[in-house]
C-alpha cells in the first residue's frame, strides 16, 4: 500500500459525560501509528470511538440509514448534566483542535461547537472541518470507521444496502443519488401533467367566459322586470342614474334636516361599490334622524305612559272596590260598634257561666263526700233505721238519704254539662267575633286608607302626565281618553307624512338597485372580454413558448440520466479496478482457500464473487460467516486504505474479529500491520487472542489502553500498558 499524502491524523482526545463516560474526565494519546483499546463488553471502548465521530460530525452520524444502532442513540450520560469531547487532529501544517459540548439549560437542550485551526483562529462552521477531512458524515461512517454493520452490509443479500455501502467506500454515493433522482423523473408523466394543466386552464377560461355571459343575461332579465331597456346598459346611463340617485337623496336629507350629504358620483364602475355603501349609510341616517320619526316616537311613548298610568288607576279602583265588598260581607252581623257590644255581652255571660259552674262543682264535692260517708255505713244493720245526722243532728234514715244524694249528683252533673256546652258556644262566638272585628279594624284603619291613597297617587300621576291638576269632581279616565284620542290624531297625520317620506326613500333604493343591475351587466361584460382575450395575450404566447422549451428539456432528460449513469459506471469500474489487486492481496493474506484464490466485485450490481481461473461463484452462497467476514475486511481495507483511499489518514476499527478463528485473527493482525504503514490505526477489541497477535505482528509503535471496572457514575477505568 502506498504512503498517504499527509492528510489529517488523530493526535489526542479528552472525553467527559459522553455515553459510557461519566463525570470523570479521561484523556487518550492517539498519536501512535497503532492504538489499541482493550476491554470487555460495556467497558467504554465503543464510546471512545463514537466520541471521535461525534466531535467531528455531531448528531449527523446518529442516523439509522448509516448505522442501525445509531437510531435514537443516547449521547449524554444520564448521570451527567453535560458532555464534552475535545479532539486534536494533526496535519502537516499544524494542529486542529475540535471542541463539541451538549448540555441542558432550563430543561432545554443546548449544543456548542467550534474548532481552532492551524493558525490559531476559532471557526464555528462544522463544514470547514468536513472539507479538511474530505469526507461527509455518511462516508465517514463506512469508509473510515469499520463497524460490524459495515462488514455485514458489504456482503448482504439486499442489493440496495450492499450498493449503498460500496458506493460510500468508492466515493460515488452522491453520483448514485443524482442518477436515482434523474431516474425518478418521468418525462412522459411531466408532459401529461403539463397537457392536463393546459386543458384545465382552457376549460376554466371557457367556463369563466360562459359564467360571465350568463351573468349578463341574468342582469338583462332582472332589469327587464324593472323596466330597463338594452340602451340602459351603458356607462353614460350608469353615471346619469348615479347623479339622479344623489339628487333624490339630497332632497330627502334637506327634508329630514340632517344636513348636506357629502357623496360624490363614481367616475367609473370600480367606484360604484363604495358609492353604493355610502348611499345606503346615508339612507339609514335619513330614516333614523327624521324629525317626524322622532315626534312619532315621542307620541307613542307618551301614549304608552298614559295607558300604563290609566291601567294602574283602574287597578287602584278595583282594589278599593274589592276591599269595600269585603267590609260589606264582614258587616252582615253588624258594624264594628255592634260587634263590640255583642262581644261584651258574651264576655259577661261567659263570666256568669263560669261562676255558676264553680258553684255546681262545689256542691258535687259535698255530695261526693256525703255519699262516701254513707256508703261506709252500708255494712251497718241499722242503715234503715233513723239516726242523727252528723252535721245538723236531725233524724235521718241513711238509706233514704243515700238514694236522694245519688239523684242529686246525677242532676248536678247534667246541669254542669249543659252549662259547659253553653260556655263552649259563647267562646266559639267570641272567637268568631274577634276575627271579624280584627279584619274590620284592619280594613278601616289600614287597607282601605292605603288603597284610597294609592288611587289618589295614581290620579296625581295622571295629572303630571297631562300637565295639570285633576280636581275631585273630574274623571281621570275621561281626561286620559280625550288626550289619547288627540295623540292618535297626531300619529295618524305623522303616519301619512312618513308614508310619503318612505316612498321617497324607496325610490332612492330602487334607483340604486337599477344602477346595481347596470353595473353587474357592464362588469360581467368587461370580465368576459378580458377572459376571452387571455389566449390572445402575450403572456399566453410566452407560456406556450416555455411549454415547448420544457418539452424539449424533457426530451434531453433521458440523455442526461444516461450520461450520469455512464459516469457512475466508469468511476466505479475505475476505482474497483484500482482496488482489485489490493482486495485480492488482502483476501489472500486473510484466507487460504485452494478452491477460490481471489474475489472480485461486479461493477454493475456490486455482487461479490469467489473466483479461481474461469470459475466464478457468488460468495454469499458459498462461504461460511468467518470467511465472508474476511472477504468483507479485505474489501474495506483495500478501498479505505489503498490507492482509492479518500479522506483522513486514519482507520477506526470496532471489534473486527467476530466469527474469525485463531489463524484468521493472526492473518488479520499481519494485514493491519501492513495497513499501518500508510494509515494510522485505532482499534477496539475484547479479543485477548487477537491483542496478542497484534502485538506480535505489528512492528510499528503501539499504545495499548485497557478498560476495566466501568462505573455508571464515573465511567470507564482506563490504564495504559
Are the beta carbons of 476 and 462 closer than 8 angstroms? yes
What's the mean pLDDT when you consider all of the chain? 83
For residue 627, count CB atoms less than 10 angstroms from its CB and return exposed for 0-12, middle for 13-18, buried for 19 or more.
buried
Residue range 154-183: average pLDDT? Answer: 72
pLDDT of residue 645: 55
Q: Do 580 and 600 form a contact (C-beta atoms < 8 A)?
A: yes
Order across the sheet with 145-146: list the strands. Answer: 145-146, 650-654, 680-685, 34-39, 702-711, 715-720
Q: Does pLDDT of 198 surpass 80?
A: no
Closest CA to 148 of 710, 708, 686: 686
Name the percent of the chain lying above pLDDT 90.
20
pLDDT exceeds 60 at position 68: no
Which triple of cell numbers denotes residue 154? 458489504
Identify the pLDDT of residue 628: 85
Q: Can you name the CATH fold of 334-470?
A: Helix Hairpins (1.10.287)
2-16, 607-621, 672-686: least confidently modelled range: 2-16
Pairing of strands 94-105, 82-91: antiparallel
**Residue 65 pLDDT > 50, yes or no?**
no
Give me the phi and psi of 604, to 5 degrees please.
-80, -50
- 3-class SS string, 280-323: HHHHHHHHHCCHHHHHHHHHHHHHHHHHHHHHHHHHHHHHHHHH
| Residue range 390-404: mean pLDDT, rounded | 77
For 415-465, the pLDDT digits (tens) are 889 989 999 999 999 999 899 989 989 988 899 999 999 999 999 998 898
The predicted structure's pLDDT at residue 370: 84
Q: Which residue has the higher pLDDT, 143 or 277?
A: 277
Q: Which CATH architecture has domain 1-136+650-660+676-721?
A: 3-Layer(aba) Sandwich (3.40)
Given pLDDT bands bounded at 50, 70 and 90, which one contains residue 70? low
User: What DSSP assignment string belongs to 164-217?
Assistant: HHHHHHHT-HHHHHHHHHHHH--HHHHHHHHHHHHHHHHHHHHHHHHHHHHHHH
Q: Can you read off the three cell numbers belonging to residue 305? A: 305612559
CA 405 to chain centre: 106
pLDDT, tens digit, for every residue of 277-313? 988 888 888 777 777 777 888 889 988 999 999 899 9
Going by pLDDT thresholds of 50, 70 and 90, the confidence category of residue 5 is very low
- How far is CA 361 from each of CA 349, 356, 371, 558, 573, rounded to the nearest angstrom? 18, 9, 15, 141, 148
Which of 211, 216, 209 has the alpha carbon at shortest distance from 517?
216
Helix H, strand E, coil C: the string for 231-242 is: HHCCHHHHHHHH
Q: What is the DSSP secondary-structure string of 504-564?
A: HHHHHHHHHHHHHHHHHHHHHHHHHHHHHTGGGSHHHHHHHHHHHHHHHHHHHHHHHHHHH
How far apart CA 350 and CA 413 sit, in angstroms, is: 19
Cα 551 to Cα 193: distance, rounded to the nearest angstrom: 11
Please say whether the beta carbons of 27 and 14 come within 8 A: yes
**What is the reported pLDDT for 457?**
93
Q: Are 56 and 87 in contact (CB under 8 A)?
A: yes
Tell me the domain boundaries of the chain.
1-136+650-660+676-721, 145-183+558-646, 208-289+478-532, 334-470
Q: Which helix (H) or strand (E) holds 399?
A: helix 398-442
pLDDT at 33: 92
Confidence class for position 319, pLDDT limits 50, 70, 90? very high
pLDDT at 395: 76
Contact residues for 208 (Cβ-Cβ < 8 A; gap 6+): 527, 531
CA 200 vs CA 193, 194, 391: distances in Å: 10, 10, 144
Residues of the chain with pLDDT > 70, as a percent, come to 89
Quick one: DSSP state of residue 345? H
Residue 667 has pLDDT above 60, yes or no: yes
Is 70 exceeded by the pLDDT of residue 642?
Answer: no
Amino acid at each position: 500500500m502506498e504512503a498517504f499524502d499527509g492528510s489529517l491524523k488523530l493526535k489526542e482526545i479528552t472525553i467527559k459525560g459522553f455515553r459510557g463516560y461519566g463525570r470523570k474526565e479521561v484523556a487518550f494519546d492517539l498519536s501512535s501509528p497503532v492504538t489499541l483499546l482493550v476491554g470487555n463488553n460495556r467497558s467504554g471502548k465503543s464510546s471512545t470511538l463514537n466520541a471521535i465521530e461525534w466531535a467531528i460530525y455531531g448528531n449527523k452520524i446518529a442516523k439509522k440509514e448509516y448505522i442501525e444502532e445509531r437510531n435514537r442513540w443516547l449521547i449524554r450520560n444520564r448521570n451527567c448534566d453535560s458532555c464534552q469531547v475535545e479532539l486534536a487532529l494533526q496535519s502537516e501544517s499544524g494542529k486542529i483542535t475540535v471542541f463539541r459540548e451538549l448540555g441542558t439549560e432550563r430543561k432545554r437542550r443546548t449544543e456548542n461547537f467550534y474548532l481552532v485551526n492551524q493558525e490559531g483562529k476559532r471557526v464555528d462552521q462544522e463544514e470547514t472541518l468536513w472539507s479538511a477531512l474530505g469526507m461527509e458524515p455518511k462516508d465517514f461512517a463506512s469508509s473510515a470507521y469499520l463497524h460490524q454493520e459495515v462488514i455485514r452490509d458489504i456482503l448482504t443479500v439486499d442489493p440496495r444496502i450492499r450498493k449503498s455501502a460500496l458506493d460510500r467506500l468508492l466515493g460515488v454515493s452522491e453520483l448514485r443519488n443524482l442518477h436515482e433522482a434523474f431516474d425518478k423523473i418521468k418525462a412522459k408523466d411531466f408532459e401529461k401533467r403539463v397537457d392536463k394543466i393546459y386543458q384545465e386552464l382552457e376549460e376554466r377560461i371557457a367556463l369563466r367566459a360562459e359564467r360571465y355571459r350568463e351573468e349578463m343575461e341574468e342582469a338583462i332579465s332582472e332589469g327587464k322586470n324593472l323596466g330597463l331597456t338594452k340602451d340602459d346598459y351603458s356607462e353614460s346611463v350608469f353615471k346619469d342614474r348615479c347623479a339622479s340617485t344623489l339628487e333624490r337623496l339630497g332632497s330627502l336629507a334637506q327634508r329630514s334636516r340632517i344636513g348636506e350629504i357629502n357623496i360624490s358620483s363614481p367616475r367609473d364602475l370600480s367606484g360604484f361599490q363604495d358609492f353604493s355603501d355610502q348611499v345606503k349609510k346615508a339612507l339609514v341616517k335619513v330614516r333614523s334622524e327624521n324629525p317626524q320619526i322622532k315626534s312619532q316616537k315621542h307620541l307613542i311613548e307618551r301614549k304608552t305612559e298614559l295607558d300604563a298610568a290609566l291601567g294602574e288607576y283602574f287597578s287602584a279602583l278595583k282594589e278599593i272596590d274589592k276591599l269595600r265588598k269585603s267590609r260589606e260581607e264582614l258587616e252582615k252581623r253588624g258594624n264594628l260598634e255592634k260587634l263590640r257590644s255583642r262581644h261584651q255581652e258574651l264576655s259577661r255571660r261567659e263570666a256568669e257561666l263560669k261562676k255558676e259552674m264553680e258553684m255546681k262543682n262545689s256542691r258535687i264535692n259535698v255530695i261526693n263526700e256525703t255519699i262516701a260517708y254513707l256508703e261506709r255505713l252500708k255494712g251497718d244493720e241499722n242503715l234503715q233505721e233513723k239516726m242523727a245526722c252528723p252535721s245538723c243532728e236531725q233524724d235521718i234514715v241513711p238509706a233514704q238519704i243515700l238514694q236522694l244524694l245519688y239523684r242529686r249528683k246525677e242532676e248536678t252533673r247534667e246541669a254542669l254539662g249543659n252549662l259547659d256546652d253553653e260556655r263552649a258556644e259563647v267562646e266559639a262566638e267570641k272567637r268568631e267575633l274577634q276575627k271579624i272585628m280584627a279584619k274590620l279594624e284592619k280594613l278601616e284603619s289600614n287597607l282601605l286608607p292605603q288603597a284610597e291613597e294609592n288611587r289618589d297617587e295614581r290620579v296625581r300621576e295622571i295629572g303630571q302626565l297631562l300637565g295639570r291638576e285633576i280636581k275631585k269632581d273630574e274623571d281621570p279616565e275621561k281626561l286620559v281618553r280625550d288626550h289619547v284620542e288627540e295623540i292618535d290624531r297626531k300619529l295618524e297625520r305623522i303616519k301619512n307624512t312618513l308614508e310619503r317620506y318612505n316612498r321617497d326613500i324607496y325610490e332612492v333604493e330602487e334607483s340604486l338597485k337599477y344602477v346595481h343591475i347596470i353595473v353587474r351587466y357592464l362588469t360581467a361584460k368587461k370580465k368576459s372580454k378580458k377572459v376571452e382575450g387571455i389566449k390572445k395575450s402575450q403572456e399566453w404566447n410566452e407560456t406556450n413558448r416555455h411549454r415547448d422549451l420544457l418539452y424539449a428539456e424533457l426530451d434531453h432528460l433521458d440523455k442526461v440520466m444516461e450520461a450520469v449513469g455512464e459516469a457512475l459506471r466508469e468511476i466505479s469500474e475505475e476505482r474497483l479496478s484500482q482496488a482489485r489487486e489490493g482486495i485480492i492481496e488482502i483476501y489472500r493474506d486473510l484466507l487460504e482457500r485452494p478452491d477460490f484464490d481471489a474475489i472480485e466485485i461486479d461493477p454493475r450490481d456490486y455482487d461479490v464473487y469467489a473466483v479461481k481461473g474461469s470459475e466464478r461463484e457468488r460468495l454469499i452462497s458459498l462461504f461460511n460467516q468467518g470467511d465472508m467476514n474476511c472477504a468483507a475486511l479485505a474489501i474495506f481495507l483495500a478501498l479505505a486504505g489503498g490507492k482509492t483511499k479518500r479522506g483522513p489518514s486514519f482507520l477506526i476499527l470496532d471489534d473486527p474479529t467476530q466469527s474469525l478463528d485463531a489463524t484468521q485473527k493472526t492473518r488479520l493482525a499481519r494485514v493491519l500491520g501492513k495497513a499501518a504503514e500508510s494509515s494510522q490505526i485505532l482499534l477496539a477489541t475484547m479479543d485477548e487472542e487477537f491483542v496478542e497477535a497484534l502485538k506480535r505482528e505489528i512492528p510499528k509503535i503501539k499504545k495499548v489502553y485497557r478498560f476495566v471496572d466501568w462505573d455508571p457514575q464515573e465511567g470507564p477505568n482506563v490504564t495504559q500498558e
